[in-house]
Amino acid sequence: MTNPPMNWGYARTWDGFLHAFTRGQYEKINPTNFFAHPDVFMTQLGLYVGWAKDEFNILNITLAVVPILFFFKFQKRERAWLIGLAGIWFCLAIILLILLNPGLDKQSRDLNKVFFASSYTVIAMYIGYGLVLIAASLATQFQKFRLWAICGGLVAITLALVNLNHTVQGFENGADVGGADTFFGAIKQSFAHDQYGLPIYAGLILVALAVVFTVVNLICKEKAMVSVVLVVFSLLPLHSIMAHWADNEERDHWFGYWFGHDMFTPPFGIYPEMTRNAVLFGGTDPGRFCPTYMIFVESMIPHDKQPVEDQKFDRRDVYIITQNALADPTYLEYIRAQYNRSTQIDPPFFQEMLRSKSEVEQNYTTNIWRGWLIIFWIVHLRRGARRLRHGGAQI
């Protein structure tokens, strides 16, 4: 399935690919000028740190620092791997932050936050390496690392309590925590009947895990209880799962569906149903994305799997077009390919890629690179056909 609102650049052709790749449908990139406005860049960097902390929590972010502390104890190959990951993270986080130049208002923050999800993969890997290094150090050199483990456990308890306090402050009945009574009152309230308290439960579990880790290393004198440590480490993801459950659990959340559905079949008989075989022009984002989803996704779902209120919904007859891009030649190519395929003739992608601008304008000359590419593919295809005729060997 292709998406009309997003496919303003018809990426099946070389010109359309360049148009999409250079963000032709969006406004031009306006990167952060951190030399002229370092305070703005530092504020944006703080936004990223806050986003990462919300994804993992402050304790897990601290665990990501552990591999750096062991850096000079690694061999050359391991150092190179960590440096490579750090370089990838720098591109996915810092460079992207500079290029996107997010504003400080809520709309801009929420809009740009999702683009940094890939950088969290590297952070998660560093957290995993940190846990492996801690467990391996305790298993092989317990006497040497026992004191460090106890101190680290105390730091972990502190960070877990800070995280819990931050969660309590955002709790509906525990806002503006000013003392112990309010703090513990909010925790008690989270266990009340019909009260959603998963984020606080997650914070309590994180504190408990940090306490167990510290106590185990205090009790053990000669040998680490590696099995208990591994259980503690394996339960750490529980915090992220429980803390973000409400944001990710979509069961019985039908607002998005009905938002798109009611564009075609308004409820309560307020307006008649959209005419069959209509051409729908969408301008705003909701006006394009929602009907596109309803046409190309929800209409494909078997009727017995659709909401009971309307198990006959099928609007694949509607043509969705965005008028904002009708002056764009590459979008017109997409429209032809989507709704009148026989009239859209796509030139070979790599053939056009190797032609210069003057060759494209003259439209009858080419260059040696394109010629060699064509010869290569002809030879390759003939060789493959010959191998298939002689026993089906792999090409």
Q: Indicate the pTM of the whole model.
A: 0.72
Other CB atoms within 10 A of residue 133 CB: 18
Average pLDDT, the chain: 84
pLDDT of the chain, 395 residues: tens digit per residue: 344 444 566 888 888 887 776 765 566 678 888 888 888 899 999 999 999 999 999 999 999 999 999 999 999 999 999 999 999 999 999 999 999 888 888 888 888 899 999 999 999 999 999 999 999 999 999 999 999 999 999 999 999 999 999 888 876 544 444 445 678 888 888 888 888 889 999 999 999 999 999 999 999 988 989 999 999 999 999 999 999 998 888 787 888 888 889 989 998 888 899 999 999 988 776 777 888 889 999 999 999 988 888 889 999 999 988 877 777 788 888 888 888 888 888 887 777 777 767 766 666 555 556 666 666 767 777 777 777 666 654 44
Question: Using one digit for the tens of pLDDT, what is the confidence trace for 55-80?
Answer: 999 999 999 999 999 999 999 999 99
Task: Please give the helix or strand (H or E) that residue 257 lies within, else none.
Answer: helix 255-264
| Every domain of the chain and the residues it spans | 26-140, 142-249, 255-327, 349-389
d(CA 92, CA 110): 17
